[in-house]
Amino acid sequence: MNEQLVGKASHIATLIIRRMQNKLTDDEWTELETWLREDGENYLLYEELMDEQRLGQALDELHAVDHTQAFEQLSQKLMLPPISPKRNTTRIWWYMVAALLLIVAGGIMYILTNSGSATSQMPPPLVTAQKKPTSDSQKAILTLCDSTVIVLDEVSNGPIATQGNTIVQKKKNGEIHYTFSAGKKQYAEAYNTIQTPRGTTYQLTLADGSRIWLNAASTLHFPVHFKTDERRVTLTGEAYFEIAKARSTTGDKTFIVHTREMDVQAMGTAFNISAYTEDIQSSATVVEGLVKVSGRQSDQLLPPGKKWVATGETIDVTDADITQETAWKNGQFIFRNTSLQDVMNELARWYDVQVEYPQPMPVLHFSGEIPRHTTINRAIDMLALTGGVQFKVTDRVVKVLPAANTF
310-322: b or e for each residue (b if 16 or more CB lie within 10 Å)? Answer: beeeebeeeebeb
What integer pLDDT is reported at residue 253 of this predicted model? 83
The C-alpha angle with vertex 362 and arms to 359 and 363, in degrees rounded to 5, equals 140
Tell me the CATH number for domain 141-324.
Answer: 2.60.120.1440
Instruction: Write the pLDDT tens digit of every residue in 78-107.
Output: 444 454 444 444 344 434 444 555 555 555
**274 has a pLDDT exceeding 70:** yes
Domain with CATH 2.60.120.1440 in the chain: 141-324
Maximum distance among all Cα pairs of the chain, rounded to whole angstroms: 88
How far is Cα 38 from Cα 34, in angstroms, rounded to an integer? 7
- Calculate what percentage of the chain has a pLDDT beyond 70: 68
Average pLDDT over residues 103-122: 48
**185 has a pLDDT exceeding 70:** no
**129 has a pLDDT exceeding 70:** no
Average pLDDT over residues 319-337: 94
How far is Cα 270 from Cα 212, in angstroms, rounded to an integer? 10
Report H helices in 83-133.
88-113
Q: What does residue 84 show for φ and ψ, rounded to 5 degrees? A: -95, 130
What integer pLDDT is reported at residue 262 of this predicted model? 93
**Higher pLDDT residue, 330 or 5?**
330
pLDDT band at 402 (very low <50, low <70, confident <90, very high): confident
Instruction: Write the pLDDT tens digit of every residue in 275-315.
Output: 999 898 999 999 999 999 998 778 889 999 999 999 888 89
212 contacts 203 by C-beta, under 8 angstroms: yes
pTM exceeding 0.75: no
Domain with CATH 3.55.50.30 in the chain: 331-402
What integer pLDDT is reported at residue 1 of this predicted model? 45
Average pLDDT over residues 367-375: 91
Angle between helices 88-113 and 3-20 (to 10 degrees): 130
**How far from 270 is each of 233, 274, 310, 341, CA to CA, in Å?**
15, 14, 20, 28
Domain 331-402 fold is Phage tail protein beta-alpha-beta fold (3.55.50)
